[in-house]
Structure 1
Amino acid sequence: MRYFLLLFFSFLFCSSLNAQYNKEKLRKESRALQQEIARLNKSLNQSKSESKKSILYIKQLEDKIKAQNELLKTTAKETQALKDEIYLSQLQINKLKRELSELKKEYKDVLVNAYKNKSLHNKILFILSSKNFTEAFRRIKYLEKYSGYQNEKADEIKQKQKDIELTISKREKAKNEKEILLAQRNELKKNLETQKQEQNKVLQEFRANESQIATQIEAKKQENKKLEGQIETIIQEEIRIAREKAEAERKRKEEEARRERERLAKLEAERKAKEARDAAANKTEAKKEVPKTEKEPAKKEESEKTYSSTAETESLSNSFTANQGRLPWPVASGEVVGGFGRQPHPILKNIYENNAGVKIAAAKGTQARAVFEGVVQEVILVQGGNKAVMISHGTYFTVYNNLSQVSVSKGQKISTKQSLGTIYTDNDNNTILDFQIWKGTVKQNPAAWVIGM
């Protein structure tokens, strides 16, 4: 029976610890979600004041609804954890009360025995009736221990009463927390319903203009195709120039090598002719030193300059590759509203777009910034009046499309996070950057390169 009781109370103790751990974990998750909702609320208020039809506003509204749903799930789990804590606390209180009852019963028996032997006369007789000194000493010690035992039992009862009061206090605190949490959940449900109504209202406005938006998207596709064609042409021209330079460098080195071979052959022929003349004239054996060959300083400098340039390009490419997954965002703050490749429209899910990179929505007036050091390869004028900045990073290129103003020029060296220009904002307050990464003429998924994208 004792074994089963011990097992039961061990289970209660472990369950109490586990419930406490789960509660703290859920509280941490709840705080994180509340912070995310607060951040989205701030952004939503700013976007809403400018335009409720912007993709950024709708995306943030959708993110907030998702966060609120997650918070509802978390608070439900937290409520259950508090219920479990209250239940376990009540079991603990019941256990402590039973133990207190047993202690009081034992203490009562101790007091009864103490009352029966309370007189000093009885204690003295108890000691004097000992057969010898050793037994008398033992009886004195027994009386001392018995007196101490009474005090211990009294202290145990006091401590047990304190434990019961503390556990009751914890239970009541958990009850209060549960009531507060339930009130928060009810308020959260009301807010969530309001947000969903707002979302449905905005989506209805978009769906009413679906055909017009589809036409705009199709026109944008054509613009993007032309831009991609321009980018590919620029990259191919860059590759052609690089190949021509490499071929010219190869031919130059071959010509230098041929001339060097001819020079050495001429020197060798002159040496042999001199040896023949010296032998015929019976002169002293000539010194047989092989003349040292010296390269022309100008050619050496030119070779070093060409090699240094090639090494710099290769180093930049390797450095860019080494930072894959760690590149900063091309904007200080924004939301991805269009992924790489064939993607559904961020709002009208039955319409698809083919993205050469990713689309990032940001606040009005946001600056596009370089994700890595490099050189401005080209500032491209895009159909419709906007611009795109193309930066070379060795064999890699990054493109920042949909800029209304550009603050850099072709051939300019760029540092990481340097501002390139202002992102264009349309009539619906959409400020969207089209960010692309190319390796040669092959498009890359920016999400694999930019940290946390």
Structure 2
Amino acid sequence: MSFKSNVFLVFVALFLMSPMSFGQSDKLKRLEAQRLQKQKEIKELNALLFSDKKKQQSVVTQVENYNYKISVLQNLIKITNDQANQLTREINANQNEISSLREQLKELKEDYAAMIVKSYKSKSEQSKVMFLLSSENFKQAYKRLQYINQYKDYQKEQAEAIKTKTKTLQELNITLLKQKEQKQKLIEENRKAKQELEGEMKVQEKLMAEIRKSMSKHTAEITKKRQEADRIDKEINRLIKEAIAASNKEAGNSNSTGNFVLTPASKIIAASFEANKGKLGWPVERGVIKSKFGVQRSITDRSVTQNYEGIKIATEQKSQVKAVFNGEVSQVMVIKNANPAIMIRHGNYLTIYLNLSKVYVKKGDKITTGQAIGEVFTNKFTGETLVGFRVYKNDKKLNPEYWLTRN
């Protein structure tokens, strides 16, 4: 064996000994987190929207509830399918790796066996001494001594490589077994989710059939609700502009164009609020987002759309509403034919909490994160307990979901 080929083999042995990781891939971890979040969401909505069968609810409300649950179930099924498919890809890759490892291990053992035989034939110290003494000069003797030592080291490295490769193969086999068990579990969970989805879709279809029997009545109800919501939105937007103008006048600047004039202190609050985007606590202890931000189509009449300026969170009866961040009560909003709302200012950001039955604060109060500021109203006709939540930067509406932490 030449010195060059010996170095090459040592390099190969060291490469084979390099550590390998068999934990879940980042993609699988992300999918698992999403799946668990959807399962938690289904558990919450079952508790908040479907637990009390005796509770009186309008047909429209029931359809909305089932539509929401169906949407979450469909997302859960998709995520679980993606997870199972990713597992299949990783299982196939691991099976290929196992085959490759077995082949490499076989070659390593064959090389090592041949090396042992060769070592045995020339193992006597006398033969090594003779090998050195037969050198033509000192330089050649030194190189031969180096070769003997390198050969010993290589034998040790080769033996260690076999141990490492064997351990790697065992770990990979265990990982593969766990992956197959996990995939089977996901397939079973998806089967149950699909059965539940089919059942909920049948119930929803029955409710929709009931609505279609008196469509004009329900369309009129939906139209009336949309008009009332538009009126409330306009009033809230007017009150926001009014609050900005009053604040700026107090600061000695009445010429601003729809933006808060910030003091050094309020700049710090605004920056802190902005830094907590995606980390803010929810305005209620338990809840699910039943109505999303932006343009949404009516569940019962697809020709009807509405642009929601915030979100609506379904929660438990008599739930307390909590401030999501430190701030100051800018207004307790009393809107005609609507329940009270609270506007809290955080520098040039505003959070608004709507549909309250009780208010615990007043204008000018300093508020801390998580402080109870009111109680949610429960509609006796629809059976719903919904709190509206909105986020604004100056008078520009923002999607509140982007600001709240995952519940």
Q: What aligned pairs does 1:259-278 form with structure 2 within 5 A after superposition?
A: none
Cα distance change of structure 1 residues 376 and 17 upon mapping to structure 2, 3 Å threshold: same
1:50 aligned onto 2:52? yes
Aligned to 1:430: 384
Aligned to 2:221: 216
Deviation at 1:180, TM superposition (A): 0.8
Greater RCO, CA 8 A, separation 6+:
2
Rounded to whole Å, the distance in 2 between the matches of 1:318 and 1:109 is: 79
User: Unaligned regions of 5+ residues in structure 2, if any?
Assistant: 54-60, 255-259
Rounded to whole Å, the distance in 2 between the matches of 1:149 and 1:239 is: 81
Q: What CA RMSD, in Å, does the superposition of the two structures yield over aligned residues?
A: 5.1
Cα distance change of structure 1 residues 350 and 331 upon mapping to structure 2, 3 Å threshold: farther
Rounded to whole Å, the distance in 2 between the matches of 1:73 and 1:347 is: 31
Rounded to whole Å, the distance in 2 between the matches of 1:242 and 1:171 is: 65
8 Å contact kept, 2:73–2:197: no
Q: What aligned pairs does 1:6-405 form with structure 2 within 5 A after superposition?
A: 20=21, 23-47=24-48, 48-50=50-52, 53=62, 55=64, 58-59=67-68, 61-111=70-120, 159=160, 162-163=163-164, 165-208=166-209, 209=211, 211=215, 213-228=218-233, 230-231=235-236, 315=263, 321-322=270-271, 323-324=273-274, 326=276, 328=280, 329-345=282-298, 350-371=303-324, 373-375=327-329, 377-380=331-334, 382-383=336-337, 386-391=338-343, 393=345, 399-405=352-358
Aligned to 1:275: none
* Cα distance per residue 1:11-57 (max 9 Å; x no partner): xx79x988x47843244224423432442243144133135938567
Aligned to 1:287: none
Instruction: Decide which moves more: 337-346 or 351-360.
Output: 337-346
What TM-score results when the alignment is normalised by the length of structure 2?
0.66
Rounded to whole Å, the distance in 2 between the matches of 1:338 and 1:434 is: 9
8 Å contact kept, 2:353–2:389: yes
Q: What aligned pairs does 1:414-429 form with structure 2 within 5 A after superposition?
A: 414-417=366-369, 418-426=371-379, 427-429=381-383
Structure whose alpha-carbon radius of gyration is higher:
1
The alignment partner of 2:100 has SS state of helix
**AA paired with 1:28?**
K
Rounded to whole Å, the distance in 2 between the matches of 1:235 and 1:153 is: 78
Deviation at 1:110, TM superposition (A): 4.5
Rounded to whole Å, the distance in 1 between the matches of 2:241 and 2:190 is: 57
Rounded to whole Å, the distance in 2 between the matches of 1:398 and 1:113 is: 85
What TM-score results when the alignment is normalised by the length of structure 1?
0.60
Aligned to 1:406: 359
Deviation at 1:220, TM superposition (A): 1.6
**AA paired with 1:331?**
V
Cα distance change of structure 1 residues 240 and 207 upon mapping to structure 2, 3 Å threshold: same
Deviation at 1:187, TM superposition (A): 0.7
Rounded to whole Å, the distance in 1 between the matches of 2:223 and 2:202 is: 25
8 Å contact kept, 1:399–1:435: yes
Aligned to 1:265: none
* Matched length: 361
Rounded to whole Å, the distance in 2 between the matches of 1:235 and 1:80 is: 53
* Cα distance per residue 1:186-215 (max 9 Å; x no partner): 213312312321341343245332635533
Rounded to whole Å, the distance in 1 between the matches of 2:246 and 2:45 is: 49
Rounded to whole Å, the distance in 1 between the matches of 2:107 and 2:249 is: 95
The alignment partner of 1:50 has SS state of coil
User: Unaligned regions of 5+ residues in structure 1, if any?
Assistant: 251-311
8 Å contact kept, 1:387–1:405: no
**AA paired with 2:312?**
K
The alignment partner of 1:49 has SS state of coil
The alignment partner of 2:387 has SS state of strand
Identity percentage over the alignment?
18
**AA paired with 1:66?**
N
The alignment partner of 1:53 has SS state of helix
Rounded to whole Å, the distance in 2 between the matches of 1:320 and 1:186 is: 48
8 Å contact kept, 2:341–2:354: yes
Deviation at 1:100, TM superposition (A): 1.8
More helix by share: 1
